[in-house]
Chains A and B, each alone.
Chain A
């Protein structure tokens, strides 16, 4: 089964906002409200930023928000900070026996 589709890279200046998209199908992103977003700094463990499309775990900044429309989910980061520079991955529950699909990842550069 194919990975979810994310842009390879996005960039913006500190203080600005960015949105990362994650496109799947009706068998995964569009079919369930089980989309998560992870922040991954190289060499460290990934960190969940959003789950169930828009739920933010305790301790995660409210600058991070998630949404979904049809087969596409989105992660928005507002008030960009230097420490937000990382790789971001979406994931979704899927109807297939694979159960969980990840996106290809998006490298966020804070200029």
Chain B
């Protein structure tokens, strides 16, 4: 079964750091672009960051550029999001998502999400 499972969310103070992980199974992880998408409470979906199959190209939303770092370990079938200098407006459910083959957008597989709360 094709599956994505996020972990690493939790409560963190403003200015703190957190590392999210996304374990993939059921497909050839190294063949697909992967992204992180978040949804703040009561708000819509927001694309956060994406990484190419090999990991050598990465992109970020302006709202997280310079604070978040996306990476992947294809040998471990795992996607990561290192989040530093966290702010209250980073509070959200964070989803990892697999792109349709050959696409940066069009996410056909999503995880269930992990909640990140930034609060003192």
Which of A13-21, A45-53, A71-79 is near enough to bind chain B? A45-53
- Contacts between chains A and B (CB distance < 8 A), count: 76
A36-B107, A45-B95, A52-B106 known; A99 and B50 CB under 8 Å? yes
A45-B111, A46-B95 known; A98 and B47 CB under 8 Å? yes
Per the CB 8 Å criterion, the residue count for chain A at the interface is 28
Is A45 touching B112 in the complex (CB atoms < 8 A)? Answer: yes
Interface residues of B (CB under 8 A from A): 35, 37, 44-47, 50, 59-62, 65, 95, 100, 103-108, 110-113
Interface residues of A (CB under 8 A from B): 1, 3, 34, 36, 38, 40, 44-48, 51-52, 57, 87, 89, 91-93, 97-105
Q: A89-B44, A100-B50, A104-B44 are in contact. List 8 more A-B contacts (CB 8 A).
A: A36-B106, A45-B110, A46-B37, A51-B103, A51-B106, A92-B105, A99-B59, A100-B105
